[in-house]
Amino acid sequence: MLNIAIIPGTSRPQALNPQIVSWVDAQLAGRDDIRAEVVDFGEFDLPLLDEVVPAGAKMYQNAHTKAWGAKLDEFDAFIFVTPEYNHSISGSLKNALDFVATEFNHKVAGIVNYGADKGVRAAEHLRHILANYKVAVVRDQASFSIFTDVTDGAFTPTEVSAAPFASMVDDLVAWGGALKGVREGSEAVTV
């Protein structure tokens, strides 16, 4: 059983993000090889980064950082649902990622992105950030256009846009199982 965190990519009020997060959650509900949970960084009351020691040392001083890191530690894989803001990810997602580091090491992620140009630049920036955390990001991603996959403010994904999601999840499961072995092997070496 692979534990997947679905991470909303913005804290902006009245964003389209909750609709797409709900769609992702519903798509995963029918699978018996995963357990998925929406993990919203907004619920951890993270201020602008306020840790004194860089995250890689995992010497967190603040309760909000400890809680955020402990929650991420529970998961083997992540699906980021990110909008594109100014050709990148949202500032709130970047800030949430900056609080932690090792909680992502040797895990796998998939990306669901959206925007005027399907959010592809946000996905590319997120791939670079996740690479720094030693996250394997699977190739397939679901990319949605606010012009063709949204109707009157409601998320209505086209079949073409939604199609890559299934193969993305299949790859998450395959890579997630393999990377569990990598994490267990690295724990044995450090003990």
Domain count, the chain: 1
> Which tens digits make up the pLDDT trace of 111-128?
999 999 999 999 999 999
Which residue range(s) make up the domain with 101?
A: 2-190
pLDDT band of 187, cuts 50, 70, 90: low
pLDDT at 191: 44
> Which tens digits make up the pLDDT trace of 169-179?
999 999 999 99
> Which tens digits make up the pLDDT trace of 91-103?
999 999 999 999 9
pLDDT band of 38, cuts 50, 70, 90: very high
Q: Is the dihedral of CA 112, 114, 118, 121 positive or negative?
A: negative
pLDDT at 94: 98
CA 74 – CA 52 distance, rounded (Å): 24
Three-state DSSP class for residue 180: helix
CATH of the domain at 114: 3.40.50.360
Q: Chain-wide mean pLDDT for the chain?
A: 95
Q: Is the pLDDT of residue 188 over 70?
A: no
